[in-house]
Structure 1
Amino acid sequence: MSEVVIEASVVIPGETMPRVALTADSIELLRKLWEMHGPLMFHQSGGCCDGSSPMCFAAGEFWTSDNDILLGVFDIAPVGSEPHNIDFWMSKEQFEYWSHTYLTVDVVRGRGSGFSLEGPEGLRFLIRSRLMETATSFA
């Protein structure tokens, strides 16, 4: 795993610590995908197999609802560039299981079977998790 480079902004009311981060490898791939597809978003739905992998879509291609939670927003723009904001969403049901975890989006070789944009690159995003440092509240 490469080192954590960017943490998402804190967006959940009442929380003070970020919940999601990107590694250098994931930032590099996301910048490439941004050039190819424009603005991006992540959705983590849960389930088995590729359903438990973070899925990267063109922004707005995956519709979120009241059944999803915005965990954070990343700005992957190089220094001095216009913002390249990427929302990271998770289903509420999945969040109930992962509410105590800090998530890091990383990249590995291989192709998942989902619709995530990185598939044709021969790479796939995955989540690495650890327990949160301090307790957080979710309403």
Structure 2
Amino acid sequence: MDRQESKDEVPRVELTPEAARLVRRLREAHGPLMFHQSGGCCDGSAPMCYPEGEFRTGESDVRLASLAVDGVAEPVTFWMSKSQYAVWSHTRLIVDVVPGRGSGFSLEAPEGVRFLIRSRLVGT
């Protein structure tokens, strides 16, 4: 798979209504946004939210989605490493928000909440 978005019939990534509300607030404060699905040891497997372009993607990453969010002018891109996508390719990722402090690198950290991935098998 190349760096271009998957053209699968099933959306690979979606936001819960709570996550969409938080994305709108973060967009107002920080401008255009992007997500990168962390696979690191320090952040577990949390979706990390950054100002668009602040996290450098490369040939080892794949863009899974360009999420349209009501009230946000531009799509919010969602990225993951190719090797991690090989493991998660059979799932739909659902970005949610839960109470608690997330990573200090992700924009929602000061909000007292953190983004969390829920998943569902594709086709269910």
TM-score, with length taken from structure 2: 0.90
1:126 aligns with 2:112: no
1:21·1:105 contact (CA, 8 Å) conserved in 2? yes
Report the counterpart of residue 12 of structure 1 in structure 2. 6
Match of 1:24 among 7, 17, 36: 17
Query: Is residue 71 from structure 1 mapped to residue 61 from structure 2 by the alignment?
Result: no
Could you tell me which of 104, 107, 114 is aligned with 2:94? 104
- Superposition RMSD in Å: 1.8
Distance 1:38 1:47 in 2: 26
Q: Distance in 1 between matches of 2:47 and 2:36?
A: 6
CA-to-aligned-CA distance 1:69-88 (integer Å, 9 cap, x gap): 0000111133xxx7331000
Aligned length: 121
* Aligned twin of 1:3: none
Name stretches of at least 5 consecutive residues in structure 2 with no aligned partner: none
Would you say 1:43 and 2:36 are equivalent positions? yes
Q: 2:105 aligns with which of 103, 107, 115?
A: 115
Name structure 1 gaps, 5 residues minimum.
1-10, 135-139
Q: Which of residues 52, 60, 79 is equivalent to 1:59?
A: 52
Q: What code does the residue aligned with 1:86 have?
A: V
Equivalent position of 2:79 in the other structure = 89
2-structure distance, mates of 1:113, 1:42: 13
| Identical-pair percentage | 58
* Cα drift, residue 96 of structure 1: 1.1
Task: Name the counterpart of 1:5.
Answer: none
CA distance in 2, matches of 1:131, 1:47: 23
SS in structure 2 of the partner of residue 25 of structure 1: helix
| Per-residue deviation, 1:12 | 1.1
Runs of 4+ in 1 over 6 A off after TM superposition: none
2:77 counterpart letter in structure 1: D
Q: Which amino acid aligns with 2:87?
A: Y
